Amino acid sequence: MERRKIDLNMEKNQSKDMPVISVGIPEELKKEIEEFMREEGLEESAVLRKLLNMAISEWKKEKALKLLAEGKISYMKAVEKSGMNVWDFAEMVKERKIIWVKDEIISDLNARF
- Say what the pLDDT of residue 14 is: 47
Dist CA 48 CA 20 (whole Å): 11
| pLDDT tens sequence for the chain (113 residues) | 555 555 554 444 545 688 888 899 999 999 999 999 999 999 999 999 999 999 999 999 999 999 999 999 999 999 999 999 999 999 999 999 998 876 666 566 667 66
3-state secondary structure of 99: coil
- Say what the pLDDT of residue 6 is: 55
* Residue 78 amino acid letter: A
Dist CA 32 CA 25 (whole Å): 11
**What backbone phi and psi angles, to 5 degrees, belong to 18?**
-115, 145
Model pTM score? 0.72
